[in-house]
């Protein structure tokens, strides 16, 4: 009966990667806590980088700063 | 002052159905806990079926499997 | 497959009331969206009134203010 | 290490306003709890007004009612 | 920068099991999405079985029913 | 109508600090988005340090490691 919510930035996560996250998380809960996969929910939420802040800045800004230092 | 968060898959829920969920949930909290509707929040989040996993698979995959067994 | 999270203040909600919230919410999702009860999760979280703020104040403070105006 | 989730209706919040919310929330946690900004997450979720209910109605309905009383 | 929230029932999960869930989830996000472990949050919430409902009943009730059918 | 959820570790946050977080967050939403304080919810959740993981380890473990390097 576990409910797992994974929030990540919406930076091009593929369907295959989402399937890996779902299967991997479910397997972890089966292995560690012997949970029933049939009632194990895994939800993935993709958040816009304008809407995710770390250290005072949005991820959009952080990515741009990183880009500028490279160029 | 309750806060209710309803997560469902984004499979064509109509505005009318959303209104039913909002009104029904609010009524339940008024009836059971005598809460004030004016400060009862009900939020509905519609999740992409690629992003919702149950039993190792995404709901997209589960729906396709069900479709295939029917045809 | 719905997941419902109900947050309320920890002001003495009984087990019977929790059961009413669980059954009522599940019934609503079955009736409105034809969801399968067996994979409908309803989670109730009881939050300390010091930890719930509305209009600049905690609910603890609001309750005390209400109490003072009555006495 | 705080994680802050801000849910607001999707009524035209600008990127600059999101940045103010991120910076302001981070600053509050640094000032009040001496938290490290580098591991302080602030996530903003913008919810469709059809999907946010207060007092039995969706915010969409409430906005329309307010509009009608003005005209 | 992922944020993962794992909700499970409060049925005696050990500290060692929590550490396995934290490490396993972090490793999955590193492997699948190449995320930085230093900014990968994994939060585990243990929910009282009275407060978790499935199929109209609380988990407390479901556990008791299962117990009764065994005896 | 904003809903803000602040998750922090349960490391001795005082009632006064909680009140500062509630008032400060509400003020930020009033100032930046002109929201109504009367329908602005701020919820603070205190999470056990065993249950919060960063970089493969729980915060309990990280705090102990920091302690050991100091002594």
CB contact under 8 A, F38 and C55: yes
What is the spatial distance between Cα A49 and Cα A61, in angstroms, rounded to a whole number? 8
Q: How sure is the predictor about D71, in pLDDT bands with cuts at 50, 70 and 90?
A: confident
Provide mean pLDDT across the span A44-49. Answer: 98
* A8: nearest CA partner in chain E: E2
Provide mean pLDDT across the span E6-17. Answer: 97
Nearest to A1 by CA among F17, F55, E45, B19: E45
Give the domain extent around B37: 3-70
Residue C26 in tokens: 């599940």
Our CA-based measurement puts residue C37 at a distance from the nearest CA of chain F, in whole angstroms, of: 28
Residue A60 in tokens: 């959009």
pLDDT at E70: 82
CB contact under 8 A, E55 and C45: no
Our CA-based measurement puts residue D68 at a distance from the nearest CA of chain A, in whole angstroms, of: 33
Inter-axis angle of helices B15-33 and C15-33, to 10 degrees? 160
Strands of E10-56 (E only): list them. Answer: 41-47, 52-54
Counting residues of chain D whose pLDDT is more than 70, the rounded percentage is 100
pLDDT at B2: 97
Segment E13-46, tens digit of pLDDT? 999 999 999 999 999 999 999 999 999 999 999 9
Residue in D10, D45, D49, D51 to test binding to B, most B beta-carbons within 10 Å = D51
pLDDT at F57: 97
pLDDT at B52: 98
Three-state SS at F63? helix
Segment D23-51, tens digit of pLDDT? 999 999 999 999 999 999 999 999 999 99
**CATH code for the domain in which residue C13 is found:** 3.30.429.10
pLDDT at B71: 73
Provide mean pLDDT across the span F30-34. Answer: 98
What is the spatial distance between Cα A19 and Cα F42, in angstroms, rounded to a whole number? 34
C1 CB-contact burial (10 Å; exposed 0-12 / middle 13-18 / buried 19+): buried
Residue C7 in tokens: 């947050």
DSSP class of A10: -
Q: Which residue has the higher pLDDT, E44 or E67?
A: E44
Residue E31 in tokens: 């492997």
Which residues lie across from D58 on neighbouring strands?
A: D53
Q: Is B37 a catalytic residue?
A: no
Q: How sure is the predictor about D70, in pLDDT bands with cuts at 50, 70 and 90?
A: confident
CB contact under 8 A, B18 and D50: yes
pLDDT at B70: 82
pLDDT at C71: 74
Q: What ipTM describes this predicted complex? A: 0.96
Question: Which strands form E41-47's sheet, in the order they lie side by side?
Answer: B57-58, B52-54, A41-47, A3-9, E3-9, E41-47, F52-54, F57-58
DSSP class of C11: S
Distance of CA E58 to the CA centre of its chain: 17
What is the spatial distance between Cα A55 and Cα E39, in angstroms, rounded to a whole number? 11
Residue A46 in tokens: 């993709």
CB contact under 8 A, C7 and B4: yes
pLDDT at B10: 97
**Chains that contact B by 3+ CB pairs under 8 Å?**
A, C, D, F
CB pairs under 8 A between A and C: 11
What is the spatial distance between Cα D44 and Cα C52, in angstroms, rounded to a whole number? 19
Counting residues of chain C whose pLDDT is more than 90, the rounded percentage is 92
CB contact under 8 A, D57 and B25: no
Neighbours of F25 (CB within 10 A): 27
pLDDT at A43: 98
> What's the number of domains chain A is made of?
1
Our CA-based measurement puts residue C50 at a distance from the nearest CA of chain F, in whole angstroms, of: 7
Segment F39-54, tens digit of pLDDT? 999 999 999 999 999 9
């Amino acid at each position: 009966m576990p409910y797992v919510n994974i929030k990540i930035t919406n930076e091009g996560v593929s369907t295959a990667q989402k399937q890996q996250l779902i299967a991997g998380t479910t397997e972890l809960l089966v292995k560690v806590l012997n949970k029933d996969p049939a009632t194990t929910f895994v939800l993935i939420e993709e958040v816009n980088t304008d809407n995710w802040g770390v250290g005072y800045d949005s991820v959009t800004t952080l990515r741009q700063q990183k880009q500028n230092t490279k160029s």
